[in-house]
Structure 1
Amino acid sequence: MMRAVIVYDTWRPRGATTTIASWIAEELRLSGFEALAVRAGEAGLGHVELLVAGSPVYFERLLPSVLKIVRSAEVSTAVFVVCYAARLGDRGLRYAKAMYLRKMEEAAGDRLIESHVFKGCLRKPPKGEEEKARKWARSILERIVLA
């Protein structure tokens, strides 16, 4: 069984980032992975084949704890950000990709297999994000299979 770790960090333990990370882990488990969602301070990559890393955006910044793990990983990596800007239509989504997601992608370097921006703000994710998170998790699996 392949192993994956979904690493995230947050200032709000029951907020959007935590919820999205849990949905991704659950979808990977449904597809046969051994998958666990953990906060960055609790993460041990150990023997995993896949890292999925996510950060919320606070005050225009990603959390350094997540970026550090992404930079140091030596396995296939998928990254995501959760931010309010993505809720502001196409312009907000383009901004989120350019300002936040790009930094996560650069941290992953040539290990990057997938990336995504999720809508969110402090509390639970908006309606529709669960299906997007699960669909994105399945697209990660397709990349792993094709690799």
Structure 2
Amino acid sequence: MMRAVIVYDTWRPRGATTTIASWIAEELRLSGFEALAVRAGEAGLGHVELLVAGSPVYFERLLPSVLKIVRSAEVSTAVFVVCYAARLGDRGLRYAKAMYLRKMEEAAGDRLIESHVFKGWLRKPPKGEEEKARKWARSVLERIVLA
């Protein structure tokens, strides 16, 4: 069985980033992976074939703890950011990709297999966001199979 770790960090333990990481881990498990979602401070990459790393955006910044893990990983890596600006239409999504997702992609370097921006939220997930996270997890699996 292939192993994956979903590493994220957050200031809000029950917030959007935690929820999205859980959805991704669950989808990977449904596809036959051994997958665990853990906060960056608890992460040990050990013997995994796939790293999925996610960071929220706080005050225009990604969390350094996640970037550090992405930079040090030596396995296939998928990255995501959770950004409230992505809720503001195409312009907000383009901004999130250019300002935040690009930094995660650069940290992953040639190990990058997939990347995505998810919409952040304060109270409840936007309609369809869970299915988007699960669909993205399946696309990550397709990439690792092809890699």
Q: TM-score, normalised by structure 1?
A: 0.98
Contact 1:28–1:138 (CA under 8 A) maintained in structure 2: yes
Please list every run of 5 or more consecutive structure 2 residues that lacks an aligned counterpart in the other structure: none
| Displacement after TM superposition at 1:127 (Å) | 1.8
Is the partner of 1:67 in helix, strand or coil?
helix
Is the partner of 2:109 in helix, strand or coil?
helix
| Displacement after TM superposition at 1:128 (Å) | 1.1
Match of 1:123 in 2: 123
Contact 1:15–1:125 (CA under 8 A) maintained in structure 2: no
CA distance in 2, matches of 1:3, 1:20: 19
Please list every run of 5 or more consecutive structure 1 residues that lacks an aligned counterpart in the other structure: none
Distance change in 2, residues 1:43/1:137 (3 Å): same
| Displacement after TM superposition at 1:126 (Å) | 1.7
Distance change in 2, residues 1:91/1:36 (3 Å): same
Q: TM-score, normalised by structure 2?
A: 0.98
Distance change in 2, residues 1:123/1:67 (3 Å): farther
Give runs of ≥4 in structure 1 deviating > 4 Å. Answer: none
**How many equivalent pairs are there?**
147
Distance change in 2, residues 1:51/1:41 (3 Å): same
| Displacement after TM superposition at 1:119 (Å) | 0.1
Identity of aligned residues (%): 99
Query: Which stretch shifts more, 94-103 or 122-131?
Result: 122-131
Contact 1:12–1:122 (CA under 8 A) maintained in structure 2: no
- Taking only aligned residues, the RMSD between alpha carbons, in angstroms, comes to 0.7
The answer to whether structure 1 residue 59 and structure 2 residue 48 are counterparts is no
